[in-house]
């Protein structure tokens, strides 16, 4: 990993309830496409549901636009999804 625009994302893989560890292989960083990743925290089921909905929206975008979403566009999608009722 080298370059001006490179960065790293790190996360633990622990899924727990208070002090009890339930799993140590829980994914918290998700790949949207080759150049776009999403890190989610919080309740595991909520994170997985949000990820599935965002992937669905991204696939619809790919079909309509015939290209991957730019990070700025994806950030707007995430913001809209998080603040909807």
Nearest to 49 by CA among 71, 67, 30: 30
Domain-located, residue 5 = no
> Looking at residue 1, what is its pLDDT?
66
Residues in the chain: 85
Domain span including residue 68: 29-83
Report if residue 70 sits inside a domain. Answer: yes
pLDDT at 4: 85
Residue 21 is assigned to a structural domain of this protein: no
pLDDT digits (tens, 9 = 90+) for 31-72: 999 989 999 998 888 999 999 999 999 999 999 999 999 999
Q: Is residue 17 part of a domain?
A: no
Q: Distance between CA 17 and CA 9 in Å, rounded?
A: 24
Number of domains, the chain? 1
- The reported pTM is 0.84
């Amino acid at each position: 990993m080298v370059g001006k625009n490179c960065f790293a994302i790190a996360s633990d893989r622990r899924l727990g309830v208070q002090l009890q560890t339930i799993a140590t292989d829980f994914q918290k960083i998700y790949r949207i496409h080759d150049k776009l990743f999403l890190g989610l925290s919080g309740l595991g089921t909520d994170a997985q549901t949000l990820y599935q909905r965002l992937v669905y929206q991204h696939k619809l975008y790919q079909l309509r636009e015939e290209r991957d979403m730019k990070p700025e566009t994806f950030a707007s999608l995430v913001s809209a999804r998080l603040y909807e009722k």
